[in-house]
């Protein structure tokens, strides 16, 4: 089995093309701050640096960490942090801490008020219905497995896989599990409908990992041997063979 190169290109372009859009913003925009307890609406003006931050994030959302955003704009860490904290306080952005290995990376996401401030249409990212943290991990995995031309939200037979790629002629599916609720269905449909050869579940924490492992153990034998679960960050530090080798059980 082999993916068609043009399909992969088109599919990724569909998902990521919006990163290349340039926002239309109004320099004199005044953002209203809601609710000060007195019924009075205070106005918040964005300065040039704050607007530059939001515009940069508009382009690199889910692809760059806070530190990387600072570097792209040319802000020092202290200046960037001060601006990011203010924008988060004013409900322009939400900052998510993602544990990757031994360290923690912070990813900022634009909120609705920020899009209004920029005068830009709110971007609709694949998988957003599952939440920001879920979406961030999809992009982290797609970037981590880019050498295999990983595809976000690959749709096969009406089953969308969070991240999928081909390795040695086998279709590998990666599902991001912030909770264990849907993982039984995900595994079954990935294998039976989308024809994935192996399903890797990235779990938010040890609790979710334990629950997903219990789900896997309850599957039919022909499905159980094709699924493995790991804590999310572990996937980034384990090679493909380690991820799919049944002998290395969690």
Is 53 a domain residue?
Answer: yes
Indicate the residue among 69, 100, 124 that finishes a domain.
Answer: 124
Distant-in-sequence, close-in-space partners of 195: CB < 8 Å, separation ≥ 6: 1, 156, 157, 171
Tokens of 133: 């943290």
Range with the largest mean pLDDT of 11-25, 115-129, 132-146, 200-214 = 200-214
How far apart, in whole angstroms, are the C-alpha atoms of residue 94 and residue 88?
6
pLDDT of 63 reads 86
157-182: average pLDDT:
95
- pLDDT tens digits, 83-103: 999 999 999 999 998 887 778
Residues 112 and 145 in one domain: no
Is 7 a domain residue?
Answer: no
Is 1 a domain residue?
Answer: no
Do 117 and 47 form a contact (C-beta atoms < 8 A)?
Answer: no
How far apart, in whole angstroms, are the C-alpha atoms of residue 152 and residue 164?
7
Indicate the residue among 65, 93, 124 that finishes a domain.
Answer: 124
Is 5 a domain residue?
Answer: no
The pTM is what?
0.75
Evaluate if residue 25 carries a pLDDT over 60.
no
Return the CATH number at 96: 1.10.10.10
| Longest CA span, the chain | 64
Q: Which domain holds residue 72?
A: 12-124
Residues paired with 98 in a beta bridge? 105
Residues 142 and 108 in one domain: no
pLDDT of 32 reads 43
Evaluate if residue 48 carries a pLDDT over 60.
yes
Higher pLDDT, 2 or 155: 155
Is 6 a domain residue?
Answer: no
Residues 118 and 17 in one domain: yes
Residues 21 and 115 in one domain: yes
How many domains, the chain? 2
Task: Give the 3-state secondary structure of residue 104.
Answer: strand
Residues 162 and 115 in one domain: no
How far apart, in whole angstroms, are the C-alpha atoms of residue 107 and residue 195?
33
How far apart, in whole angstroms, are the C-alpha atoms of residue 25 and residue 117?
7
Indicate the residue among 59, 89, 124 that finishes a domain.
Answer: 124
- Counting residues of the chain whose pLDDT is more than 70, the rounded percentage is 78
Torsion of CA 235, 236, 239, 244, to 10 degrees: 20
Return the CATH number at 191: 3.40.1350.10
229-239: average pLDDT:
93
Residue 131: band (very low, low, confident or very high) from pLDDT cuts 50, 70, 90: confident
Residues 75 and 156 in one domain: no
Closest by CA to 58, choosing from 8, 4, 125, 105, is 125
Q: 48-60 and 77-89 are packed helices; what angle lies between their axes, rounded to 10 degrees?
A: 90
Our CA angle for 242, 194, 172, nearest 5°, is: 15
Residues 113 and 145 in one domain: no
Residues 117 and 170 in one domain: no
Residues 55 and 152 in one domain: no
């Amino acid at each position: 089995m082999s993916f068609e190169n043009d399909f992969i290109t088109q599919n990724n372009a569909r998902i990521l093309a919006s990163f290349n859009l340039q926002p239309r913003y109004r320099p004199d925009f005044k953002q209203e701050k809601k609710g000060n307890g007195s019924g009075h609406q205070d106005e918040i003006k964005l300065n040039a640096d704050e607007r530059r931050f939001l515009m940069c994030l508009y382009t690199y959302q889910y692809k760059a960490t806070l530190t990387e955003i600072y570097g792209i704009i040319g802000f020092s860490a202290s200046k960037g942090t001060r601006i990011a904290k203010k924008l988060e306080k004013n409900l322009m952005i939400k900052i998510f801490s993602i544990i990757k290995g031994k360290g923690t990376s912070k990813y900022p996401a634009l909120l609705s008020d920020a899009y209004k401030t920029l005068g830009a249409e709110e971007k609709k990212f694949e998988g957003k219905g599952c939440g920001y943290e879920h979406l961030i991990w999809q992009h982290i995995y797609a970037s981590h497995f880019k050498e295999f031309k990983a595809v976000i939200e690959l749709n096969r037979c009406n089953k969308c896989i969070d991240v999928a790629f081909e390795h040695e002629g086998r279709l590998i599916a990666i599902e991001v599990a912030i909770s264990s609720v849907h993982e039984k269905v995900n595994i079954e449909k990935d294998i039976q409908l989308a024809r994935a050869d192996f399903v890797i579940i990235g779990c938010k924490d040890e609790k979710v990992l334990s629950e997903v492992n219990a789900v896997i153990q309850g599957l039919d034998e022909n499905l159980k041997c094709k699924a493995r679960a790991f804590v999310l960050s572990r996937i980034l530090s384990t090679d493909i063979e380690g991820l799919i080798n049944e002998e290395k059980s969690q």
